[in-house]
């Protein structure tokens, strides 16, 4: 009777302490709770454990071992996810009608069209800053005309795809992780599996297709805006606009342009894939979605940097 008259917070703390006390000596399990009550009880247990429990100090060997095991498990999960995603994309390519194109267009609008302002701002400032920075040393040799060559090669081949991918990792990849993480916490993904629907084909393929379709287009837009930023600096230095674009035309080859597009295609798959993976890995608790979102951004940027380095080495040996 007293427990019934208590408020929710007191009742939650009492049940949490009761569970922690008896779990040490007996195999205690509480069944039959509604999901929202079970989440409240788990949150109470975690809070009480943080307040009353003492975490034993771990040695250096223990921390290194746990980190190694965690990295190895993460690699296994990543390889498994790549296989599932590849199978889902292959099935979508063979059966285009199975793709939910309306949802894919909605994701493309949110991830691509709505990202145009921030991509334009960053790309314009990047071209502007690089041109001003290059003007200082080139002025000593009277070679300020070659600023156009530097801007054309760096923007079209490297910085355009890279900066676009980083922006999408922080904007769209985190959104994918938050959306899927919220669905995971609410057990909506488990409901899809219960209904016989594959979450990878039903949720992830549409997001990956949308990201892969929009990333090269955003990269082209970023390249053009970055060249405009460099053109502003060249005009301020007294060079005519036609000279600037002739320098870019003579120095930049189609191989550099195609190489940048291939990078953007790979970066789009990475951003969408790692965002969806971290969303599916979301645990329980109030901070689970935030942790998944942070992990998606960090992992996405790291993988983008590693992939860009691999592309640079491959392009060097191919002479691209």
CB environment 128-161: b (16+ within 10 A), e (fewer): bebbbebbeeeeeeeebeebbbbbbbbbbbbbbb
155 in the same domain as 289 = yes
Report how far residue 85's alpha carbon sits from residue 78's, in angstroms, rounded to the nearest whole number.
10
In a domain, 77, yes or no: no
Pure H helices in the chain: 2-5, 8-23, 35-52, 60-94, 101-111, 116-140, 147-153, 160-168, 174-185, 188-194, 199, 205-236, 241-251, 254-280, 288-318
- What residues in the chain have per-residue pLDDT under 70? 1-59
In a domain, 67, yes or no: no
pLDDT of residue 29: 63
204 in the same domain as 277 = yes
Report how far residue 161's alpha carbon sits from residue 259's, in angstroms, rounded to the nearest whole number.
10
144 in the same domain as 91 = yes
pLDDT of residue 4: 42
Mention every residue, 6+ apart, whose C-beta is less than 8 A from residue 279: 176, 177, 178, 179, 180, 181, 183, 184, 292, 296
In a domain, 66, yes or no: no
91 in the same domain as 178 = yes
298 in the same domain as 192 = yes
pLDDT of residue 239: 85
149 is in which domain, residue-wise? 85-318
37 in the same domain as 89 = no
115 in the same domain as 25 = no
Look at residues 311, 305, 269, 301 and name the one whose alpha carbon lies nearest to residue 171.
301
* Range list of β-strands (E), 151-295: none
313 in the same domain as 167 = yes
Report how far residue 46's alpha carbon sits from residue 277's, in angstroms, rounded to the nearest whole number.
25
156 in the same domain as 33 = no
In a domain, 75, yes or no: no
Indicate the helix (H) or strand (E) that contains 288: helix 288-318
133 in the same domain as 13 = no
Q: Residue 50: how many CB atoms within 10 A of its CB?
A: 9
Q: Say how many CA atoms lie within 13 Å of 201 toward its Cβ.
A: 17
CA 167-172-174 angle, 5° bins? 100
175 in the same domain as 270 = yes
Look at residues 156, 139, 170, 187 and name the one whose alpha carbon lies nearest to residue 36.
187
In a domain, 70, yes or no: no
Report how far residue 128's alpha carbon sits from residue 141's, in angstroms, rounded to the nearest whole number.
21
230 in the same domain as 162 = yes
In a domain, 115, yes or no: yes
In a domain, 308, yes or no: yes
pLDDT in tens, 27-71: 556 666 566 556 655 655 454 444 444 455 666 777 788 888 887
Report the number of distinct structural domains present in the chain. 2
SS3 14: helix
pTM: 0.74
């Amino acid at each position: 009777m007293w427990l019934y008259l208590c408020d929710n917070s007191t009742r939650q703390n009492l049940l949490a302490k009761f569970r922690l006390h008896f779990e040490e000596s007996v195999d205690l399990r509480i069944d039959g709770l509604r999901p929202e009550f079970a989440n409240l009880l788990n949150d109470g247990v975690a809070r009480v454990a943080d307040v009353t429990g003492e975490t034993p100090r771990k040695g250096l060997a223990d921390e290194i071992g746990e980190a190694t095991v965690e990295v190895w498990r993460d690699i296994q999960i990543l390889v498994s996810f790549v296989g599932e995603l590849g199978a889902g994309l292959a099935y979508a390519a063979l059966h285009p009608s199975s793709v939910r194109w309306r949802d894919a267009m909605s994701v493309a609008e949110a991830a691509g069209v709505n990202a145009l302002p921030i991509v334009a701002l960053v790309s314009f400032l990047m071209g502007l800053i690089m041109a001003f920075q290059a003007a200082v040393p080139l002025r000593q040799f009277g070679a300020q005309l070659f600023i156009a060559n530097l801007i054309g090669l760096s923007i079209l081949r490297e910085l355009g795809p890279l900066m676009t991918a980083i922006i999408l990792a922080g904007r769209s990849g985190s959104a994918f992780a938050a959306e899927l993480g919220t669905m995971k916490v609410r057990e909506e993904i488990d409901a899809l599996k219960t209904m016989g629907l594959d979450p990878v084909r039903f949720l992830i393929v549409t997001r990956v297709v949308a990201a892969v379709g929009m990333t090269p287009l955003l990269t082209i837009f970023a390249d053009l805006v970055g060249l405009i930023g460099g053109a502003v600096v060249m005009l301020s230095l007294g060079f005519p606009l036609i000279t600037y674009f002739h320098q870019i035309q003579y120095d930049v080859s189609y191989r550099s342009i195609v190489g940048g597009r291939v990078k953007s295609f790979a970066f789009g798959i990475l951003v969408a894939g790692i965002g969806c993976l971290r969303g599916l890995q979301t645990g329980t608790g109030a901070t689970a979605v935030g942790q998944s979102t942070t992990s998606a951004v960090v992992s996405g940027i790291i993988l983008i940097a590693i992939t860009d380095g691999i592309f640079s080495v491959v392009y060097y040996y191919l002479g691209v």
